[in-house]
Amino acid sequence: MRLQQVLSYVRKAVDDYHMIEEGDKIAVGISGGKDSLTLLYALHSLRRFYPLHFDIHAVTVDLGFGNLDLSRIEEICSQELQIPYTIVKTDIANIIFEQRKESNPCSLCAKMRKGALNEAIKKESCNKVAYAHHKDDVVETMLMSLIYEGRFHTFSPVTYLDRMDLTVIRPLMYMNEADVIGFVNKNQVPVVKSPCPADGYTKREYVKQLLKKLNQENPGVKERMFTAIQDGNMAGWPPPDTMRR
């Protein structure tokens, strides 16, 4: 997939849900994975022609596993994209896997990682943070909520965190994971593999495989689920047309 195609998805999401306003300083959470790097390239390119001026600042939370090589991402940010990049060093891995020895580490890790990320974002005077959740993530989260919590819920396109005075936006929400993979492969984006030992062994991975199977057996089911989310009157999900400027 070409960058221009990625931009068409991102521009539509940004416009449909009014994600960007004049003068925004947007932090982009960079894990090093395919999704966050695709988002970084997309927002960098969007900034060149979008009618509203905004700045971006890349931020990575290093969990402290000791084998996360971010040198290529640092090079991309400083030389290719020319945007500021902050790496936040933490001891989250040690706390979760060594001190607490969590049997189900993902929830606590996510909370601690977001806390460290938000603190760094506020230090850089950013008023928004862009997460790289794509369409598959939206639907998978809804399925997880149905299966494990018994409710119809998923994260919204735009979320205001009043305690942090920070707005979360999700510009990749119209992209399929396959589109992201296609962009990364075509453009040889240097993805950094997650060093987490729990990677690939989570409830989310189970639901991901379940959704894949459902979509293979019932072509188009993922798109229908996504449409149901948009039309389901969930909190934070106003119909796109009502958000247009």
Convert the pLDDT of each residue in 193-215 to its tens digit. 877 777 656 788 899 999 999 99
pLDDT digits (tens, 9 = 90+) for 138-189: 999 999 999 999 999 999 999 999 988 999 999 999 999 999 999 999 999 9
Answer yes or no: is pLDDT of 242 > 60. Answer: no
Report the C-alpha gap between 93 and 112 in whole angstroms: 10
- pLDDT category at 245 given cuts 50, 70, 90 is very low
Alpha carbons 6 and 186: distance in angstroms, whole number: 12
For tokens 């990682």, name the residue. Answer: 113
DSSP result, the chain? --HHHHHHHHHHHHHHTT---TTEEEEEE--SSHHHHHHHHHHHHHHHH-SS-EEEEEEEEE-S-S----HHHHHIIIIII---EEEEE--HHIIIIIIS--SS-HHHHHHHHHHHHHHHHHHTT-SEEE----HHHHHHHHHHHHHHHSS-----SEEEETTTTEEEE-TTTTS-HHHHHHHHHHHT--PPPP--TTTT-SHHHHHHHHHHHHHHHSTTHHHHHHHHHHTTT-TT---GGGG--
pLDDT cut 90: percent of the chain above it:
75
What are 84-111's pLDDT values in tens digits?
999 999 999 889 888 888 777 888 888 9
Q: Are 170 and 76 in contact (CB under 8 A)?
A: no
| 53-82 residue pLDDT tens | 999 999 999 998 877 889 999 999 999 999
Query: Global pTM?
Result: 0.91
pLDDT value of residue 244: 45
Residue 211 neighbours by CB distance under 10 Å: 19
| Residue 86 near residue 93 (C-beta atoms within 8 A) | no
